[in-house]
């Protein structure tokens, strides 16, 4: 079965903040991951929920797979370009600020009921 992906690029949030949320849902099935994300009080949670729903819609439209059989096989946040900004400092100077951006990717795969390959694949992946 083909892996279904969804990307969110140039999201104006630091990759570090997004990775805290992504570590919570790595390897979980879609329904429990969505429920968990709706109850997490982090800045990146609404962004990841929207991306997860997009990945589920991609799986349904492109591969005709229902939501119940999907699990998160891979999820990661890479660093995008940092926007350079300046803030006034003492004695007429300016100090620079980097506004970091992220590229977030979610990969979904289909888990069949008797398959142990899906469980082995998740356990093998582990943390980054």
The helix/strand/coil state of 69 is helix
CA gap 76, 1 in Å, rounded = 21
CA angle (103, 121, 65) in 5-degree steps:
70
Q: In DSSP terms, which residues pair with 87 in a beta bridge?
A: 95
Q: In DSSP terms, which residues pair with 98 in a beta bridge?
A: 84
The two most distant CA atoms of the chain are separated, in Å, by 69
Report the candidate in 6, 54, 16 with the shortest Cα–Cα distance to residue 34: 54
Evaluate whether residue 125 is within a structural domain: no
The confidence score (pLDDT) of residue 60 equals 93
Pairing of strands 94-99, 83-88: antiparallel
pTM over 0.75: yes
> C-alpha distances in angstroms, 35 versus 40, 41, 103, 119?
9, 13, 23, 21
Q: For the chain, what is the domain count?
A: 1
Q: Give me 108's structure tokens.
A: 């979904």
The confidence score (pLDDT) of residue 126 equals 53
Evaluate whether residue 120 is within a structural domain: no
Q: Can you give the CATH number for the domain in which 104 is found?
A: 3.90.470.10
CB atoms within 10 A of CB 67: 15
Q: Which residues of the chain have pLDDT under 50?
A: 116-120, 128
Evaluate whether residue 71 is within a structural domain: yes
The confidence score (pLDDT) of residue 10 equals 97
Evaluate whether residue 117 is within a structural domain: no
The confidence score (pLDDT) of residue 116 equals 46
Contacts 24+ apart (CB under 8 A), 114-119: 118/71, 118/73
Question: What residues make up the domain containing 94?
Answer: 4-112
pLDDT digits (tens, 9 = 90+) for 89-126: 999 999 999 999 999 999 999 987 655 444 445 555 55
């Amino acid at each position: 079965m083909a892996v279904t992906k969804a990307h969110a690029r140039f999201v104006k949030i630091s990759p570090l903040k997004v990775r805290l949320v992504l570590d919570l849902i790595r390897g979980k099935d879609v329904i429990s991951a969505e429920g968990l994300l709706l109850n997490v009080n982090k800045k990146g949670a609404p962004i990841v929920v929207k991306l997860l729903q997009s990945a589920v819609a991609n799986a349904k439209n492109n591969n005709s797979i229902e939501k119940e059989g999907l699990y998160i096989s891979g999820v990661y946040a890479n660093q995008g370009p940092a926007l350079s900004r300046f803030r006034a400092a003492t004695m007429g100077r300016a100090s620079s600020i980097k506004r970091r951006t992220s590229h977030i990717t979610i990969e979904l795969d289909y888990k069949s009921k008797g398959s142990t390959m899906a469980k082995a694949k998740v356990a093998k992946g582990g943390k980054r």
